[in-house]
Amino acid sequence: MHNVSSRRYAAVLLGCSAIIVIAMYVSLTNGEFDISIGDTVRTLLRIDPKPEHDLVILEFRLPRIVISALVGLGLGVAGAVIQGVSRNALADPGILGINAGAGAAIVIFLFFFQGAVRGTGWTAIMMMPLFGLVGGLGAAALIYAFAWKDGRLDPQRLILVGIGIASGLGAITLYLSLKMKASDFEMATVWLNGSIYNANWKFIATMLPWLIVLIPVIWKKSYYLDLFQLEEDSVRSLGVAAEKEKALLLLSSIGIVSACVSVSGGIGFIGLMAPHIAKRLVGLRHKRIVPTCGLIGMMLVVGSDFIAKTVFSPVEIPVGIVISIIGVPYFIYLLYRGKKAMTQKN
């Protein structure tokens, strides 16, 4: 049975990887300016490159595809951690208020500082993502402080506090947005709905270290996520420092989500859908769920971004809207399935 399970796990990883590669290829070669596979390979390998191909592939499409993949990877892994720590199958990184904190910080930046920051250097380009990163981490720290009760992290309190803080930050964001200039309001709205149209290599360089450092930490500690599905007393009886491990896993996921949201805006539902799909494919062991969630997240965001930029071409819609079109029916399905399971149990 173990060998069959291992083969299935390997097949799932291979299948997801193949779909991701195909989606990347389609996104790289198709669009307003179609490029053949030969021209794409020659451009990437620097064999007789053409300026127009360099511009389209290296400056526009490739950074966007890479950020889509990295954001999907990060949100998928973070979703697995948050659902595992909270023991809530409907938990999502957005519920913790990280998206709302980053969104509020971005709107504050656009409202107060956008006109003062100009130029094409690192400072000018990175100001908005840096504000988003600080806002996401700040909101997470605030929620974490309120969720700490009697010397431990209360999973249910974490979700409830996250929803409350997110609502408050959302109100602040809406208030400031309504007082913006029309151009800044449009930019803020696009960003808050989740968009990576402004992708560049500097954004990638900013978020990549967070993923390189924190995802291996989560994967190494993923065994504890299996234990956290037990009752609190049972976990303690095993000699596990539960609160310490929960804090480390949760803080790692918060760092990943903050880095992702800072460059892509409020993309939701990836952290909700990926763990459910992964569990159906590879079982309940988080050692396998975590990498599978990352690949599923990559697949969803890369594919959704291609749809977002081509289906209404030349008009482009935020990738977050495309994912929401998929995610909302799936969320309703999960609620219906949960209600049905409770009815049968009673």
Count other C-beta atoms under 10 Å from residue 192's C-beta. 23
Of 278, 262, 11, the residue nearest 139 (C-alpha) = 262
DSSP secondary structure of 258-316 = HHHHHHH----SHHHHHHHHHHHHH-S-HHHHHHHHHHHHHHHHHHHHHHHHHTTTTS-
Return per-residue pLDDT of the chain as tens, 346 residues.
444 488 899 999 999 999 999 999 999 988 778 888 888 888 888 888 888 888 888 888 999 999 999 999 999 999 999 999 888 887 888 777 888 888 888 888 888 876 555 545 556 566 777 787 888 888 888 888 888 877 777 777 888 888 899 889 989 988 888 888 877 787 778 777 888 877 888 889 888 989 999 999 999 999 999 988 877 777 777 777 888 888 899 889 988 988 888 888 888 889 999 999 999 999 889 999 999 999 999 999 999 999 988 887 777 888 888 998 888 888 788 777 767 666 666 6
The residues pairing with 152 across neighbouring beta strands, listed in sequence order, are: 149
Of 312, 253, 337, 285, the residue nearest 76 (C-alpha) = 253
Report the number of distinct structural domains present in the chain.
Answer: 1
Q: 201 lies in which domain range?
A: 2-345
* pTM attached to this predicted model: 0.90
Contact 98, 258 (CB under 8 A): yes
Of 83, 107, 98, 103, the residue nearest 226 (C-alpha) = 83
CATH code for the domain of 199: 1.10.3470.10
Of 173, 206, 17, 22, the residue nearest 99 (C-alpha) = 173
